[in-house]
Amino acid sequence: MRKSTVAIVGRPNVGKSTIFNRLVGERISIVEDIPGVTRDRIYASGEWLTTTFNVIDTGGIEIGDEPLLVQMRHQAEVAIDEADVIIFMVNGRDGITGADEEVAKLLFKSNKPVVLAVNKVDNPEMREEIYEFYSLGFGEPFPISGTHGLGLGDLLDEVVRHFPEREQTEEDDETIRFSLIGRPNVGKSSLVNAMIGQERVIVSDIAGTTRDAVDTPFTKDGRDFVIIDTAGMRKKGKVYESTEKYSIMRALRAIERSDVVLALIDAETGIIEQDKKIAGYAHEAGKAVVIVVNKWDTVESNEKAMKEFEQKVRAHFQYLDYAPIVFLSAKTKKRIHTLLPKVLQSSENHAKRVQTNVLNEVIMDALAMNPTPTVKGQRLKVFYAAQVSVKPPTFVVFVNEPELMHFTYERFLENRIRDAFGFEGTPIKIYARKRN
Ligand code: GDP
Ligand code: GDP
């Protein structure tokens, strides 16, 4: 089910990133594993009681060297566009400033629920001073202290209360949800349009202000598909949409909600560093991945050229060795019919469960073929394996000592499992666990 999103807005230095870090807690480290996001921590997953949600620190989105007020306007717009609930943060020590009033005006015009947080209220005596903030027009101000972690519970109770009720549609296992990611101009919008026809996309764009309306459903050969975040792939022309952090955030959100991610590459310009970084997000998230080489019309198309390009892709995207590669042209629609079958197959493999007895036969054959490694005189013993989950398929291998399971041996087992069951298009995870 889709998570709700909270955005933190406010002028600089009120404590947005301090609160962001508190809300996302140790979960931030998950995000930090993703290449490139380490320094761009503006988007992460947070948790309160039984609810998980996404948090955006809009203060991290800087647009060129625009003046402060312009920056703040864009940041408020991001919050209004992306969030279900907005935390408007002010500084209890400064009182209301002109900049606070500017932000208030923008937020007031949006239809989004706004919860007012008065930060830097580090001690109870200071609570008397928060009443002036009622005049901003967002109801009760919530006193908090980012430094001391005070008041966050009450604030989050109020935030969660405003989360929209979710439809259960995303739990529907029959529908294949996919997104397109790639750097600007690789042809994401062209490919969406080629797949479903121009009008359809435009219609769904107008459909409403809720973000669900930017997902585009369609049916092909009796199967239901949904393209996630169609609007995010199209250029809407807002200033902040061209900033790198914003587009990364948008891609991460789309990936999170997808079963399958199409990682687009431009055949005309070739593979660049940014392509690898973007595709890396999908891999890290454990999603099924199809590599799409677009603009194939610009290349002399023959078997040899395809083989050569494929080799290049394999060399650059080694961690995606499971991903099928599709060559096509969104512009001429050539070979475009080869795409959906791969999306479908990858999605099915992503959700595939294998039989435990067959799995164990495969593992035992593998052990016979390639004896387990020995470290300092101690040999790895593998007892049995089980698939513990899907999306992606995850296996636990019970062993005498998990530390003896070397990366290379794990990789060997993974390949044997892949050969036996055909997991094209999906990452699989293998964990070694000590048998008790
Ligand atoms: P941002 O620009 O809104 O993201 O603000 P930061 O989170 O970077 O915080 C700005 C400054 O305020 C930093 O020096 C923080 O240590 C400080 N700060 C944040 N929260 C509190 C708080 O609750 N009390 C006090 N006294 N200082 C705080
Ligand atoms: P996005 O930024 O990833 O959404 O990319 P667009 O779909 O806007 O495409 C960027 C540019 O590439 C546009 O000028 C498209 O006409 C062009 N383009 C997209 N797909 C193809 C293709 O398959 N072949 C060629 N030659 N050009 C393409």
Is residue 36's pLDDT more than 80? no
Over residues 105-122, the mean pLDDT reads 94
Is residue 39's pLDDT more than 50? no
Q: What one-character DSSP code corresponds to residue 179?
A: E
Who wins on pLDDT, 100 or 3?
A: 100
CA angle 176, 182, 184 (to 5 degrees): 130
185 belongs to an annotated ligand binding site: yes
Q: Can you give the pLDDT at residue 69?
A: 87
| CATH number for the domain formed by residue range(s) 4-161 | 3.40.50.300
Convert the pLDDT of each residue in 170-185 to its tens digit.
556 789 999 999 988 8
Dist. CA 55 → ligand 1 center (Å): 17
Banded model confidence at residue 111, pLDDT cuts 50, 70, 90: confident
Q: Domain 176-350 belongs to what topology?
A: Rossmann fold (3.40.50)
Is residue 413's pLDDT more than 70? yes
Who wins on pLDDT, 26 or 222?
A: 222
259: which 2 tokens?
């079963």
Convert the pLDDT of each residue in 154-167 to its tens digit.
999 999 999 988 65
Who wins on pLDDT, 25 or 363?
A: 363
| CATH number for the domain formed by residue range(s) 356-434 | 3.30.300.20
Who wins on pLDDT, 247 or 419?
A: 419
Dist. CA 352 → ligand 2 center (Å): 34
183 belongs to an annotated ligand binding site: yes
Over residues 257-271, the mean pLDDT reads 96
**Mean pLDDT of all residues in the chain?**
88
What SS3 class is residue 433? Answer: strand
Q: Which residues form the pocket of ligand 2, taking CB atoms under 6 Å from any ligand atom?
A: 182, 184-190, 233, 294-295, 297-298, 329-331
Q: Can you give the pLDDT at residue 40?
A: 54
CB 281 within 8 A of CB 181: yes
Q: Can you give the pLDDT at residue 230?
A: 75
Other Cβ atoms less than 10 A from the Cβ of 65: the count is: 7
For the chain, the domains span 4-161, 176-350, 356-434
Q: Can you give the pLDDT at residue 31?
A: 40
Over residues 267-295, the mean pLDDT reads 93
For a pocket test of ligand 2, which of 180, 181, 183, 185 has the largest count of ligand atoms closer than 8 A to its C-beta? Answer: 185
11 belongs to an annotated ligand binding site: yes
- pLDDT > 70: percent of the chain: 89
Closest Cα to atom 18, ligand 1: which residue? 15
Over residues 19-40, the mean pLDDT reads 57
Domains 4-161 and 356-434 share a fold: no
* Ligand nearest to the CA of residue 299, numbered in listed order: 2
Dist. CA 395 → ligand 1 center (Å): 43
DSSP alpha helix (H) spans, 207-264: 230-233, 244-256
Task: Report d(CA 304, CA 309) in Å as an integer.
Answer: 9
Q: For residue 144, which of 165, 162, 160, 158 has the smallest C-alpha distance? A: 158
CB 417 within 8 A of CB 394: no
Dist. CA 190 → ligand 2 center (Å): 6
